[in-house]
Amino acid sequence: MSILEMILTLLIPWGAVLWGVNIYHQKGTWFLAGWNTMREEEKASYNEEEMCHLFGRCVIFCGVGALILLPKINPGKYRK
């Protein structure tokens, strides 16, 4: 396995975890699909804090899952 593959295998899940933590703490809501295009009246009907907590938890869970599962999916590639 090349160094590039190892770096990508680690960076992509860690990037997802960092992004999830960022969203969980309500930073970067501009990155949520459709949030910027909503009118202010429509945004007011949503609980932004709870939405960010839910979305942040989901992204963190996916990032940790990818970090755990990537080596298990193809173990021959990650072991000598």
Q: List the one residue out of 54, 34, 31, 56 whose CA is nearest residue 43.
A: 34
pLDDT at 30 over 70: yes
Confidence of residue 77 (pLDDT cuts 50, 70, 90): low
pLDDT at 72 over 80: no
Q: What residue spans define the domains of the chain? A: 3-78
Percent pLDDT > 90 in the chain is 45
Distance CA 60, CA 58 (A): 6
Predicted confidence at residue 78, as pLDDT, reads: 63
Distance CA 43, CA 35 (A): 8
CA dihedral 36, 42, 46, 52 (to 10 degrees): 0
Confidence of residue 1 (pLDDT cuts 50, 70, 90): low
